[in-house]
Structure 1
Amino acid sequence: MATIKLKKKIIYTGTITLKTGLHIGGTNAALNIGGPDKFVVRNPINNVPYIPGSSLKGKMRALVEITKGCTSDGKASNDPKSVSGELFGVATGGNDNRPSRLIVRDAELDLSKPEMFDNTDLPYTESKTEVAIDRVTAKANPRTFERVPAGARFKLNMVLNIFEGEDEQRLKETLQLAIRLLQDDYLGGHGSRGYGQVEIKLDPQEGRTETY
């Protein structure tokens, strides 16, 4: 059985700035009469919204797979040697499993300028009411979504694991591609209606490199 040895970890840090309001759904367990119908995900300890690492990573992977091509039946490729498989890994249940080379942390809301949330009608968020119109009866169905407002910033933190014998440059280029694609798409829900446009800025020199 072949062994693999960790060569180094590349630490990426940066900022995710919202260009439009962001909605990543959380629990609707609490009944809030007169409040939003759809809530955003929040840290249960301090009630502050955050972007789950799973949402970031899943969206980036989906965009890379769409760009580089899926299988003939339209499903994501399980080829560990594909562009997306090399970076994000595959879980086939067989001998072709490949662990992900990328760790994406939950992105915490930057609270260094709390005054920007002074005018929001909810803690750190806004409520946005939309109306769905029945095309046959013309009946209006209003609904309210909770969003993190445009201008809010989140702290990005990712770790890229590089193993001996792997193409480091190819992995880094795939990650850069995923970031560019995400900026030209959207994060979270309701992107076709203007939600979730983001700008991602990485800190200089890809953060720090830890060699082991």
Structure 2
Amino acid sequence: MEQTQLLEKVIIRAVLTVKTGLHIGGSSDYAPIGAVDSIFVRDPLTKQPVVPGSSVKGKMRTLLAKTRNEGNLGSSPDNDEEVVLRLFGSAQKNHILFSRLQFSDSFVKDTSVKQFSGLDTDTYLGEVKFENTINRATGVANPRQIERVPAGMQFDFQLVYNLENKEESGEDMEVLRDGFRLLQLDYLGGHGSRGYGRVAFSDFSVTRVDAHTGKAEPDKELASRFESASL
């Protein structure tokens, strides 16, 4: 179990904007007749859409692995390149490597709640997209309804980086910047090949918090580097 001294907590905040309808599936255990076939994840308290931190982490790691593992994604995340392993963690037997990145769930910004609450949406802060698949052999159609987060909705995004090695932190930040860039060129959630799930990150801010004193200072230079990855 590899452990190192924690020097700083680097808090990275941004605005996550949905560019095309986003679907990250939630539970459909109870589905009355006429209900949407596939709903999206909601906050159980507010019933508002949520972008799970696990979804962002998993997609960003996969994209980085695809570009950095010498063209070979590998059969296990434990075989990822060293910098990807230390950023996202590894659970290899007899060699547990704790993730330096801590992703949070992203919640809808208050401005978006006000904007979309005043619109005539299909569901609360959501839209319903009708999809249809055709059986090639029989020609029979299989219609379904998919709930999506509408384009234009914005979320408060937050990520925390554990600074444990100053010599490695520069490379870590460059790889993380690449992760933001790649994610914006790909998609989040399901049905990406149909145009779902395009997102954008903007308005980055970075705060460094000393792990020993608790002193917090903004890092405008690092925020600017992340902002340069925005598309």
- TM-score, structure 2 length as denominator? 0.84
- Aligned equivalent of 1:85: 85
- Aligned equivalent of 1:106: 105
Write the distance in 2 (CA, Å) between the matches of 1:73 and 1:108. 31
- Aligned equivalent of 1:26: 26
Q: CA deviation at 1:83?
A: 2.4
Cα gap change, 1:54 to 1:73, in 2 (>3 Å)? closer
User: Quick one: which amino acid aligns to residue 105 of structure 2?
Assistant: D
Q: CA deviation at 1:89?
A: 1.2
Q: What secondary structure, in the 3-state scheme, does the structure 2 residue paired with 1:108 have? A: strand
Alignment deviations for residues 174-208 of structure 1 (CA, whole Å, 9 cap, x no partner): 111111000000000110011000001142xx421
Write the distance in 1 (CA, Å) between the matches of 2:98 and 2:31. 40
Q: CA deviation at 1:80?
A: 7.6
User: Quick one: which amino acid aligns to residue 160 of structure 2?
Assistant: V
Please give the root-mean-square deviation of Cα atoms over the aligned residues, in Å. Answer: 2.0
- Aligned equivalent of 2:126: 125
- Relative CO higher for 1 or 2, CA cutoff 8 Å, sep ≥ 6? 1
- Aligned equivalent of 1:181: 182
Q: What secondary structure, in the 3-state scheme, does the structure 1 residue paired with 2:173 have? A: helix
- Aligned equivalent of 1:39: 39
Write the distance in 2 (CA, Å) between the matches of 1:2 and 1:211. 22
Correspondence 1:61 to 2:46: no
Q: Which moved more, 1:161-170 or 1:175-184?
A: 161-170
Q: CA deviation at 1:165?
A: 5.2
Cα gap change, 1:173 to 1:72, in 2 (>3 Å)? closer
Q: What secondary structure, in the 3-state scheme, does the structure 2 residue paired with 1:169 have? A: helix
Aligned residue pairs: how many? 209
- Aligned equivalent of 1:145: 146
Tell whether the 8 Å contact from 1:107 to 1:155 is kept in structure 2 after alignment. yes
Cα gap change, 1:2 to 1:105, in 2 (>3 Å)? closer
Alignment deviations for residues 55-105 of structure 1 (CA, whole Å, 9 cap, x no partner): 1111111110011127968324525861211211111121x2210000010
- Aligned equivalent of 2:155: 154
Correspondence 1:201 to 2:205: no
Write the distance in 2 (CA, Å) between the matches of 1:69 and 1:38. 34
Write the distance in 2 (CA, Å) between the matches of 1:115 and 1:151. 10
User: Quick one: which amino acid aligns to residue 111 of structure 1?
Assistant: D
Tell whether the 8 Å contact from 2:10 to 2:161 is kept in structure 1 after alignment. yes
Q: CA deviation at 1:116?
A: 2.7
**Uncovered stretches (5+) of structure 1, i.e. residues with no partner:** none
- TM-score, structure 1 length as denominator? 0.91
Q: What secondary structure, in the 3-state scheme, does the structure 2 residue paired with 1:122 have? A: coil
Q: What secondary structure, in the 3-state scheme, does the structure 2 residue paired with 1:17 have? A: strand
Name the % identity. 39
Q: CA deviation at 1:2?
A: 8.1
**Uncovered stretches (5+) of structure 2, i.e. residues with no partner:** 212-231
Write the distance in 2 (CA, Å) between the matches of 1:19 and 1:209. 30
Write the distance in 1 (CA, Å) between the matches of 2:148 and 2:16. 15
User: Quick one: which amino acid aligns to residue 162 of structure 1?
Assistant: L
